[in-house]
A = this chain, B = another copy of it.
């Protein structure tokens, strides 16, 4: 089945999807709905398997962690609410399970024998990361003013006002420094196992003064972690799946234009010109740019539905690195 010389080793692709990919517009995000959406995406991903690539799959977990936080909050405090590192770990288990089950079912239908493994992944961040002084990442639901004050007083949460929509907890989003399980993930991928890893951007830990790794209350951007991991596993291609088929410049203006292919230097110019908003396309483009700068060959941003067309060059925004 493989189009690549076995001795040379097949190229590895890292493919990242958002936590929202498991919930379609209008859905409540029930386990059945999330499983069905995971299945649909894994069906698309099979094209990469059939074309002989090694595969590392990463995913976000925003809505899923939000649900867990909401549960803990609504339940009152019969048990103390788990810190964010634990919640991320929980979603690595549940979303990893959904993905690996779907992947195994799709492989069986095609008669392909590959191991599928979900690796619970810790990611080290720098405890002096400036993000700790200035938490920016909103998590959980919107609160009213009374709730916001209460949580600030009771739990020490940092709360920010979001005009018109209410108050919301914000947490630090430090940059990923090192994926602890990177060697294991690379070896597994290069042995042609399909690896699900770094869910939710990875479980954030810092090195304490004792030298121990300890969990922290924060979340790591999953696209940035995926890019770091793509370099770690010597991937040729980093694919970021998102809600839109292509990346736009001058978005929302008459000059709006979809990008087909961009070189490294064009990419740098567009970043400098501030075309990509911080909360959405910015980290994705930055992640792919970082991957290419560290030697990655290709990047792709597209939607799950356009993945097949994009692999044939007929859709998506392609980022071109070194030859």
Contacts and interface: CB of A to CB of B under 8 A. Distances in A.
A80 interface: yes
Interface string A55-97: 0000000000001001110111011101101100111111011
Given A74-B74, A75-B71, A96-B89, A80 B31 contact: yes
A2 interface: no
Contact of A70 (B75, B83, B104): B75
Count of identical protomers in the assembly: 2
A100 interface: yes
A211 interface: yes
Contact of A82 (B31, B70, B80, B118): B31
A174 B125 CA distance: 42
A28 interface: yes
Contact of A80 (B30, B105, B184): B30
Interface residues of A, number: 54
A29 interface: yes
A35 B212 CA distance: 13
Contacts of A85: 97
A180 interface: yes
A196 B72 CA distance: 27
Contact of A75 (B74, B188, B203): B74
A123 to B, nearest CB: 12
Given A74-B76, A119-B119, A101 B31 contact: no
A136 interface: no
A183 B114 CA distance: 11
A115 B212 contact: no
Contact of A101 (B100, B188, B213): B213
A120 interface: yes
Given A80-B28, A119-B118, A104 B74 contact: no
Contacts of A35: 215
Contacts of A82: 31, 94
A292 interface: no
A183 B193 CA distance: 11
Which 7 pairs from chain A and chain B are nearest by CB? A93-B93, A89-B97, A74-B75, A118-B120, A90-B90, A92-B93, A89-B94
Interface of A: 28-31, 35, 67, 70-72, 74-76, 78-80, 82-83, 85-86, 89-94, 96-98, 100-101, 104-105, 108-109, 115-120, 122, 180-181, 183-184, 188, 193, 196, 203, 205, 211-213, 215
20 contacts: A30-B80, A67-B79, A70-B79, A71-B72, A74-B76, A89-B97, A89-B98, A90-B91, A91-B93, A93-B93, A93-B96, A101-B122, A104-B213, A105-B211, A108-B212, A117-B120, A117-B184, A118-B119, A120-B196, A184-B188
